[in-house]
Chains A and B, each alone.
Chain A
Amino acid sequence: SSELTQDPAVSVALGQTVRITCQGDSLRSYYASWYQQKPGQAPVLVIYGKNNRPSGIPDRFSGSSSGNTASLTITGAQAEDEADYYCNSRDSSGNTVVFGGGTKLTVL
């Protein structure tokens, strides 16, 4: 399969920890990348590889992977973390790009 599956919506209480997951066969071949998108803005890369954060991304964002499932964890969620989160990878062939359907994170 060339698809990545995400839960449509997740909520977390302010300051608590939340995990957003992404499932797909291609994740057995490649690590997922994770993006944060706020309304009216372009996506921003927050995690790539095994657990790498681009410069400027807070260390409360972390990534992990097991089998065909990748996870983005936010430890101590802040109000500004409320956004849509997307995972992506290449498909198992390595030729085409796949995105998850996105998870809307609400910080309560």
Chain B
Amino acid sequence: QVQLQESGPGLVKPSQTLSLTCTVSGGSISSGGYYWSWIRQHPGKGLEWIGYIYYSGSTYYNPSLKSRVTISVDTSKNQFSLKLSSVTAADTAVYYCAREVRRSSSWPFDYWGQGTLVTVSS
């Protein structure tokens, strides 16, 4: 059973960089065929895709966040990470990591982390 677990600071100061790591267990990031995403959810709001990385290191980001986002992968640790720079209170959200797969002409997220709340405040 694949499991994903987010980790990182729950409180970040404005203008600083938010850094989160997702540790994958029960499966290898290097096995290919999966896209590893970060998704966030503002309090009481819907889901917002941030970006994904493939095990090879190729990435795609949400155009609205692209200038501030970096997603990287460490296959040796079976982890991938998110960095979001110059944060403001508007970046306060629950951050999820999730696995996406192409399946039956669709792109489902079949496994999700439990989510971690990151608050941006001084």
Contact = CB atoms under 8 A, between A and B. Distances in A.
B105 A31 contact: yes
Contacts of A45: 108-110
Q: Classify the interface of chain A: helix, strand, loop or mixed.
A: strand
Give the interface SS of chain B, mostly helix, strand, loop or mixed: strand
Given A86-B46, A99-B48, A42 B106 contact: no
Given A42-B114, A43-B47, A102-B47, A97 B108 contact: no
B55 interface: no
A86 B100 CA distance: 15
A98 B115 CA distance: 19
Interface of A: 30-33, 35, 42-45, 48-50, 52, 54, 86, 88-90, 95-102
Given A32-B106, A99-B46, 15 more contacts: A42-B96, A42-B112, A42-B114, A43-B109, A43-B112, A44-B112, A45-B108, A45-B109, A48-B106, A49-B106, A50-B104, A52-B103, A89-B106, A99-B47, A102-B47
A99 B96 CA distance: 14
Interface in B16-53: 37, 39, 46-49, 52
Given A96-B62, A99-B47, A31 B112 contact: no
Nearest to B104: A49
Interface residues of B, number: 24
B80 to A, nearest CB: 15
Contacts of B100: 97
Interface in B100-122: 100, 103-110, 112-115
A33 B46 contact: no
Contact of A90 (B39, B107, B110, B114): B107
Given A42-B96, A42-B114, A42-B115, A98 B49 contact: yes
B114 A33 contact: no
Contacts of A95: 60
